Structure 1
């Protein structure tokens, strides 16, 4: 699968069914094997420990314990199994359709819905709903992600596009890679942002300790978020954020980095936050792209969801 036809956030990796072989260096001496391997394959130490218990991770051809300390020259091998069941069933889940033709479909995804299935989680996703709604999704994304060319987080609401054939998928993927897709979000953040306009240009990579999280780090991938203030409240600010790049959790990480984490963010935000919303107050409001077949630029918008709008109205009343 080429870079041109499959543009995900680059941090995502397809590891299932693959075998890996490494040789420990002098610099690796004394490292716990479970931690060392987890960092190499971007999976949790708990998952790697499961591989060890199942005899899938060997050192010098022999089973070891998770706390084994590496020695220079150790041959480490890992065989990651295929998911037991990758069959995805269509489900009659209501969709908020914003646009649809023979090539592209645009949906306003609700907060709480996962975009695509993963191993062990194959129901209730946007893909399940799309498969029920239309039978002609692109196959480039594979069995678990038919038609999906980009994602938004489970607890982020808003616009997402999917491809109904491979031609459309390739075109939309190329536009994402070339940063010509318009992706504009509304975010409610903690604190009063003093500057009306701003740009966060800070590389993002996997968190060195918490492997399911992302963080700003020097060896991360280039990431740029532009923002401007829409409204200020007592202790909070409503922002419009425009993505120049599309890293995993980009807006959430960048806002935390500048000291203004998103309201309700369970991972990157403070424990004390506004009540009334499940998940981060982030909404993909505007999505624009060049139509793969006609060459016409199309742009769509979706209003803030009711829970997020209710928060803003509360804050407005507090200012009165």
Structure 2
């Protein structure tokens, strides 16, 4: 997917919901190294307001407000936890329980700059999870964020011993290759070397549920990334 190719899931006069590709910045970084989603949207709408963010490597649903009034309202309902936020992730291995809540406080890591960790002195953090498809190598898991800490799902996955696939900070960071999980893997005739089935952080914002400024309920969804589905399909075949 070309970095500028983002998909508009829904829009009205108040806000726009976008399916952000993995690898694209939500807002400009300090270095101004590459164009961010916000800048592409500013080109399209002239004026746009940031409501919340996704990590660069996380794909999926993200909202931007079109007016100052809507911006203030949406920021407030995100802050007050009145927005239901759901994610899909591919984790390493298979969690023991089919569902549960990870309740573990998160704080900044003392020595690793830019990373977070579970620690009793941290801020209260809760992540609900439900295993959608399980396999000894990788499992597809749905997450619900009850709090909004930095890297929350990534830190909590590491905490329960099942880090997200391709996570360089909290997992092994390795690309997912079919040859590593399929005994009968054969390279296709056209390929000189194997292409990874997943080569970025395996996390996707797939659903937001909230009530807008006019009292209307919205349930917005960005479909699961095709590489997540392809991996689980391949694992079923054994």
Q: In structure 2, the residue corresponding to 1:120 is in which secondary structure?
A: coil
Q: Is 1:232 equivalent to 2:134 in the alignment?
A: yes
CA distance in 2, matches of 1:166, 1:95: 23
Distance across 2 between alignment mates of 1:239 and 1:300: 19
Q: Tell me if structure 2 keeps the 8 A contact 1:188–1:282.
A: yes
The equivalent residue for 1:210 is: 112
Alignment of 1:174-189 (within 5 A): 174-189=76-91
Query: Structure 2 residue aligned with 1:284, among 205, 212, 222?
Result: 205
Specify the alignment match of 1:110 in structure 2. 21
Corresponding position: 1:169 with 2:71: yes
Q: What's the counterpart of residue 230 of structure 2? A: 310
CA distance in 1, matches of 2:130, 2:4: 35
Report the CA distance between 1:291 and its aligned residue. 1.2
**1:193/1:273 CA distance change after superposition, 3 Å:** farther
Cα shift at 1:166: 1.4
User: Number of aligned pairs?
Assistant: 217
Runs of 4+ in 1 over 6 A off after TM superposition: none
Kindly state the Cα deviation for residue 105 of structure 1 after the two structures are TM-superposed. Answer: 0.6
- Structure 1 residue 164: Cα displacement: 1.0
Which of 41, 48, 52 is the equivalent residue of 1:150? Answer: 52
Shift of 1:271: 4.8
Secondary structure, aligned partner of 2:43: helix
Partner of 2:161: 259
Deviation at 1:93, TM superposition (A): 3.4
Matches within 5 A, 1:1-320: 93-121=4-32, 123-137=34-48, 147-272=49-174, 274-275=176-177, 276-292=197-213, 294-318=214-238
Question: Per-residue deviation at 1:190?
Answer: 1.0
1:94/1:129 contact within 8 Å kept: no
| Higher relative contact order (Cα pairs below 8 Å, separated by 6+ residues) | 2
Instruction: Supply the distance in 2 between the matched residues of 1:154 and 1:297 (Cα, whole angstroms).
Output: 28
Per the normalisation by structure 1, the TM-score is 0.65
The answer on whether the counterparts of 2:165 and 2:174 sit within 8 Å (CA) in structure 1 is: no
What residue ranges of structure 2 are gaps of 5+ in the alignment? 178-196
Aligned alpha-carbon RMSD (Å): 1.6
Residue pair 1:184, 1:240 contacting (<8 A) in 2 also? yes
CA contact (8 A) 2:102 2:128 kept: yes
The equivalent residue for 1:23 is none
Q: 1:273, CA displacement in angstroms?
A: 5.6
